[in-house]
Amino acid sequence: MEITLILDLQDHTESSCQKRLLELSSETTIKQLRRKIKHFFSIDEEYQMLYFKGDQILSLDSTLQRIGLKNEDTIVVKHVLLSKFATFEELLNTGTNDSNDKQDIAKKVRTLKETLDSSKFFEVYDRLYTGTREQYTELMRCLNNDHTVIMESVRHFLGANHVKYLPGMKPGGSNAGFMFDFTCDGTTENYYLKTNETNWGANPDARELIVYLLLQHIGVGPSKCYFIPNVAQSKSVVYIATLKVPGFTMAKDLPNPLDEAMAVELHLLAIILHLTDLNTENYGLDSHGSLAIVDFSLTKNYKEALCVRHFKEHVRRQPCLDNLNNCPASRRVKIGKEAMKRWDFDTIIKAAEDDFLKIKENLNDEVAFLDRASGAIKDYLEAVKWNIQTLISEWDNDSS
pLDDT of residue 177: 74
Measured CA to CA, the distance from residue 94 to residue 89 in angstroms comes to 9
pLDDT one-digit tens code per residue, 243-260:
999 999 999 999 999 999
pLDDT of residue 200: 40
Report residue 195's pLDDT band, with 50, 70 and 90 as the boundaries.
Answer: confident
pLDDT of residue 234: 66
Measured CA to CA, the distance from residue 190 to residue 241 in angstroms comes to 10
The overall average pLDDT reported for the chain is 89
pLDDT one-digit tens code per residue, 91-110:
999 987 766 788 899 999 99
Q: Which residues contact 66 (CB under 8 A, 6 or more apart)?
A: none
- In this predicted structure, which of 85-94, 200-209, 211-220, 349-358 has the lowest mean pLDDT? 200-209
- In this predicted structure, which of 3-12, 230-239, 319-328, 374-383 has the lowest mean pLDDT? 230-239
Report residue 229's pLDDT band, with 50, 70 and 90 as the boundaries.
Answer: confident
Q: What's the CATH code of the domain at 38?
A: 3.10.20.90
156 and 198 co-located in one domain: yes
pLDDT of residue 199: 40
395 and 258 co-located in one domain: yes
205 and 290 co-located in one domain: no
pLDDT of residue 52: 96
pLDDT of residue 197: 47
388 and 253 co-located in one domain: yes
Question: What is the mean pLDDT of the segment spanning 306-317?
Answer: 88
388 and 256 co-located in one domain: yes
253 C-beta neighbours (distance < 10 Å), count: 13
Please give the backbone phi and psi of residue 314, each rounded to the nearest 5 degrees, phi first. -65, 140
Report residue 400's pLDDT band, with 50, 70 and 90 as the boundaries.
Answer: low
Answer with the one of 35, 61, 80 that is the final residue of a domain: 80
pLDDT of residue 283: 96
170 and 211 co-located in one domain: yes
pLDDT of residue 368: 65
What is the domain range of residue 196?
147-243
Question: What is the mean pLDDT of the segment spanning 141-163?
Answer: 88
When mean pLDDT is compared over 163-172, 344-353, 390-399, the highest value belongs to 344-353
Residue 165 has pLDDT above 90, yes or no: no
Report residue 134's pLDDT band, with 50, 70 and 90 as the boundaries.
Answer: confident
Read off the DSSP letter of residue 61: S
272 and 319 co-located in one domain: yes
263 and 180 co-located in one domain: no
281 and 298 co-located in one domain: yes
Chain-centre distance for alpha carbon 113 = 19
Question: What is the mean pLDDT of the segment spanning 364-388?
Answer: 80
pLDDT one-digit tens code per residue, 265-304:
999 999 999 998 899 999 999 999 999 999 998 887 656 6
Percent of the chain clearing pLDDT 90 (strictly above): 67
175 and 231 co-located in one domain: yes
Q: Which residues contact 338 (CB under 8 A, 6 or more apart)?
A: none
pLDDT of residue 174: 44
Question: Can you say whether the dihedral through the CA atoms of 346, 350, 351, 353 is positive or negative?
Answer: positive
288 and 171 co-located in one domain: no
Question: Can you say whether the dihedral through the CA atoms of 296, 300, 304, 306 is positive or negative?
Answer: negative
Residues forming beta bridges with residue 284, ordered by sequence position: 250, 292
- Cα dist. 194→120, 155, 347, 357 in Å? 32, 15, 28, 21
Question: Can you say whether the dihedral through the CA atoms of 147, 148, 154, 157 is positive or negative?
Answer: negative
253 and 395 co-located in one domain: yes
Answer with the one of 243, 270, 285 that is the final residue of a domain: 243
Q: Which amino acid is at 192?
A: Y
Chain-centre distance for alpha carbon 8 = 40
